[in-house]
Amino acid sequence: MECEKSIIGTCQTMCSLDEIKMREKEGRLHQLESSHERRAEKYRNRKLQTAEVGKMIKEYSRPAAGCHVPGPESLRPAPVLLKTVQYIFNKIIPRTDHRWAVIYDFSFDRLRAVRQDMVIQRIEGLDGIVLLESCVRFHIYAGYRLGTANISTFDPVINSQHAQECLKRLLVLYDEVQGTHKCREQFESIYLLYNLGDMNALRHCLDLKRELRHSLCLRLAFAISASHMTGNYVRTIRLACRLPCPICQCAFHRHLKHIQQCAIRTMSSGFSSKNTRFPCSKLQDLLAANCEDDIRNMATTCGLNVSSGFVCFQKSSYVSDNVLPTSDWAFLEEKLSEHNISDLLMGETDRHMDRQTDSEQTDLEIQMQKLSVNPSSSSEAKIS
């Protein structure tokens, strides 16, 4: 038992030399690792690929029965794992010469190998927190970026499973590791938003310490969750647009189409009349839709009649069996365009948020009060 607890990696590169030789020999180099990828592609011969040591990253290997635990020479210590994550986020993910689905598959596998090394070495503490925070950001962002991709290209269920696994482990480490964690507010908010409407997520929020519950981002996330559970879908969307972090909005986006459809269903009952017409432009504003065409498509999918820029809400016409397809969110696209993707995934934008001026914080507080998010009343009183 003592031997198991003392495993500490000694590999100082992103991939051990033995694995590099083995994968090069077997022709298992990824196109993002090979220095002669074009030549290999031209001749359709994997053996022509040559590994470039500085680009090689340890791939994930599924544990099998009878296999021995990897030795220290093939395990990367925490500083090397962090260096590997930084390399993926700074050198791989921003690339534009490959389809993002290819970049995602590669990054997904290599980050999974990072977590595997963490588990084997039992890396926890602050190092474990930083690594898991990066993995969560990646999976949340990828879920949005590839949300409209074909199932053969991207499996949202598998990505969600890994996001949840990283999130839950991260929240446990926050409790176990003493000290103040600057990003905890954000990731507690992400957990609540990613699991919108889940009672376990709400209970977890209510069990947090008072000073954390009353942090700006988490108060807003709780108000979003409360509005969603009480059926106030328009308020839910308005509050989500006030979230200060793009990654939080990516976490919320997975529920956006469902919330928009619920809002249309509610309005189909509340405004049901043959003589009542609702402007598409106004509905676009209420539901934070991309454009009026987006509203027309949503209304038509739900079985409602649209003519001359107006929606005719009728309870009898609403079709509940149809599901709105996932689409990009123009509002979020604009937010993401303001940030460097590498900085976003590494949490550099989070540190910028920590340096917000008092006037910026006050402005957000005022905006929340206008939307009836008062710390001393309504849903915030329930947190107390």
Which residues touch 191 (CB under 8 Å, ≥6 apart)? 167, 168, 171, 201, 204
pLDDT digits (tens, 9 = 90+) for 224-247: 999 999 999 999 999 999 999 999
Quick one: pLDDT at residue 52? 84
- 41 — pLDDT class (breaks 50, 70, 90): very low
Q: Spell out the domain ranges in the chain.
A: 2-9+72-251, 17-57, 257-346
**Mean pLDDT over all residues of the chain?**
87
pLDDT digits (tens, 9 = 90+) for 307-341: 999 999 999 999 988 899 999 999 999 999 999 99
Is-above-0.85 flag for pTM? yes
- Choose the weakest-confidence range: 20-29, 153-162, 319-328, 352-361: 352-361
Quick one: pLDDT at residue 253? 97
- 379 — pLDDT class (breaks 50, 70, 90): very low
- 267 — pLDDT class (breaks 50, 70, 90): very high
pLDDT digits (tens, 9 = 90+) for 118-151: 999 999 999 999 999 999 999 999 999 999 999 9
- 71 — pLDDT class (breaks 50, 70, 90): confident
* Residue 14 near residue 33, CB atoms below 8 Å: no
Domain 2-9+72-251 has CATH 1.25.40.990: yes
